[in-house]
Each structure stands twice: as C-alpha cells, then as structure tokens.
Chain A
Amino acid sequence: MSDPYGRAALPEPRGPVSAMLREALRRAPHDLPAGPPVDFTGTDPLTDEDLQLTLFLCYELHYRGWQGVEDAWEWQPSLLAVRAIAERRFEEAIRRLAGSQPTVSPDDLPAALHRLTTDDEGPSLGEFLRRRGTLPQFREFLVHRSVYHLREADPHSWGIPRLGGPPKAALVEIQMDEYGNGQPHRMHAELFRTTIDRLGLDSRYGAHLDAVPAITLATNNAMSLFGLHRRLRGALVGHLAAFEMTSSLPNRRYGDALRRLGGDAAATRFFDEHVEADAVHEQIAVHDLCAGLVRQEPALTADVLFGAATVLALDDLFARHLLGAWAAGRSSLRSTASELVHLSAVVSSVPRAPVTARSS
C-alpha cells in the first residue's frame, strides 16, 4: 500500500493549460514553451476547470508535491509566470465575489467580523444533510471536503513566520490544536481519515482530486493564494477567523446527519471534535489573531474582512453547487464511478464497522 500521507498522483488535465503543465511536470524542470499566451477559456475563473486545476497543480508543489514530479519544479520561473497569470484572474474574481466591505476601524474589527458571519444567508448544506441527506450524498460531501481536511490547517500555517508577537502566539495556539497538540491520533486530518475510512472512501492524501469540480478546488486555492503571498497575510487570518466562526454549528449538523445515517462514534468524532474545538478557535482567531494583527498593522483591516468575506462567498457557491446537483438528481462530483463505487482501494488496518443507511 502506498504512503497514505505521500504525494498524490497527478490529476487528469481539464483543458489546454493544465494539459500543457501536466505534461511538462512529468519531465525534468525546464522552461515551459514560450508560445501563445496562456489562455483560459472559461468566462468565470471560479468555475473554470482548467484554471482551477492549473492553480492547484502549481500550489501543490509547495505542499507535498506530485508523484513522479521533481521537487525543483516548485520554483521554476516559467511555471511561476503561468501561476501568476492564473492567480491574477482568480484574485480579481474572488475580490468581485466577496464584494466591498465597509471601512471599519481596527477596534471595530471583531464586531464587523461578527456581522459578516451572522448576516450570511446562503443555503445551509448542514441543515439539508441533517434533515434529509442520503448516505451517497454525505459521501459525496466528504469527497469534496477531503481535498482540504486531509491536509487540514496546512494553508494557514504559512502565516506563522509572517506574524510576530501576540497574533503569532494566537495562530500557533489554534494550529497546535488542529495538529493534535503533539498527539498524531488527535490531529484533525487524522480524525477525518478515520471518518472517510469508516465510510469506505479512499483516505490517501489527494485521492479524490479527479472527482472534485472547479469550485471545490477554488475553495482550496483561495487558502493557498492567501497563504503563499505575504502581502495577503491579512486575508489569510481573516479567512481562518471566518472559517472558525462558521464551523461549530454546521459541524454539529454534519455530525447529526452522519449519526442519522448510521455512523458510529468513531465516524462522527471528526465533526463532534470540531464543534468544541472551533468554539475555542473562533474566539482566539477573532480577538487575538485578527484584532491583534490590525493593532500592529491597522492598514490590514480591510484585507482581514476581504479574507473573511471570501470564505462566506465561496462556501455559498460550494453549497449551491452541491444542493443544485442533488435537487436535479445528479451527482455533485465530476466522476462518480471511480470514487464512490471503487470502495476497496484501501484496506484499512482498523476494523471497519458497517455503515448502513436506515431503511426509512
């Protein structure tokens, strides 16, 4: 069995740019062909499969890398140039989507974050899953979320060396908990692996990349964009705060959904843990991390709100994508055959309790 934490296989291309890049990555680092300008054909960068996969291919080189791809590609200048073109379009799109935020003073930032996250009236994926989601739908939801949760907390860790003093201590306090306070079995990514193992899904890092659509990649790419650009450190901490502020209550619903569908305590622990953990993280993220940062750098206040608004706006699109597909009787994934039917790809060393939907 391959290393469950190791590099993922290169995903299949989704258009001319990701095809060119994927082909190049399989060879030794070299300058990408200087030909026609990089052209993404999609009208909306957020749903442009080619653009989102291109970004993901580039960003992953900074995380764990790809199977069969040389490490030196990470800083190959012509690849970074392609990435910059995709990033410009992506950042413009999320700034448009997030909309303009009111100008607030650093002292009013916690209240502004609170307003932003409580005024959100997007569709509730948690409520749908809790009340009437089916087991196949819940599994689809986990496949989407696996892209993030199998490396949970990693994108925000890019912020640590960019901060100093109280906000740095706050970010580390949150991340320590995300990473299990030194106990591997308590790492949130590990709890998630247990959950999807219990549901018979492949829990290897990056296992489901080919199945997830552009919007799912976009939610991940936004974190990488904020994390990898120091100029966006305000957006990164705002993103984390909104993440934590909109987590406790939805995770209770996800946990309840999985219990209703027959999930045992091991399967639901990931969600149950987040209800409690994120109630702590939320306070630290808002008052110590975000407010702490803008006390040092008041000019970052607007970017903190931008990062927070990005979470809400992308989550809204993500929820609409899933609920819309399900309402139309379709799968929300790009391919279901390889992901949801092929259940025995991983033989878990943990005895797997059967998870069955109730007959009602």
Chain B
Amino acid sequence: MTPSDCPEPAAATITPYPDGPLIVRGDFAVIAPDGRQIDAKRRTIALCRCGKSALIPFCDGTHKALGFRVDTHPTPVESAG
C-alpha cells in the first residue's frame, strides 16, 4: 500500500512513537491552560510523554536517560473507505 492509498485522516495527526514522545503534525496550535498560545516554533512537534522534560510540554530527550518505556501498539484503524 502506498501513502496515496491512505487519504489524510484529519487536519492534524498525533502519533505515539515507541518509548518516546507524541509527534504532532498538521494544522495545530499549542495552547496553555490559561489560554495563551505557546510558540511551537516548528511544523512538527514532539510532546513529552514521560513527564520529565525540562521543556514541557515539548520533549527534550530526557525519556532516554530515564529508560522510559511504554507499551505502544496502537490498534490499526480500519479504513472506512
């Protein structure tokens, strides 16, 4: 199957990478609890999943030093089309 067989699923996508951060792509904004917009600075971002980043909400690679593990086996979603 080639990528062109998989139409874009949404305006933005969130991908949990194995033992790593959540990678966000597409048309998104990062908003703080108080409503302020946080400058994401790039088109593809990594959100911290281990909770120990010094750059929360973004990943800074600390999870590797901690040996962070998560069992990520996202169930493939059946395409409606």
Residues of A within 8 A of B (CB): 110, 114, 118, 165-166, 169, 173, 176-177, 181, 186, 247-249, 252, 273, 275-280, 282-284, 287
Contacts and interface: CB of A to CB of B under 8 A. Distances in A.
A187 to B, nearest CB: 12
B25 to A, nearest CB: 8
Contact of A287 (B18, B58, B64): B18
Interface string B6-25: 00000000000111110100
Contacts of A276: 41, 46, 55, 58-60
Interface string B50-75: 00001100111110110000000000
B60 A280 contact: no
A118 B60 contact: no
Contact of B45 (A252, A278, A280): A280
B43 A279 contact: no
A287 B23 CA distance: 11
Contacts, number: 62
B3 interface: yes
Q: Which of A248, A252, A287 has the most CB of B within 10 A?
A: A248
A249 B59 CA distance: 11
Interface residues of B, number: 23
Contact of A275 (B2, B18, B23, B55): B55
Contact of A283 (B2, B46, B54, B62): B46
A283 B58 CA distance: 13
B61 to A, nearest CB: 3
A283 B61 contact: no
Q: Which of B43, B44, B61, B62 has the most CB of A within 10 A?
A: B61
Contacts of A165: 2-3
Contact of A166 (B3, B19, B21): B3
Contacts of B36: none
A275 B64 CA distance: 13
B61 A248 contact: yes
A279 B46 CA distance: 7
Given A275-B60, A275-B61, A280 B3 contact: no
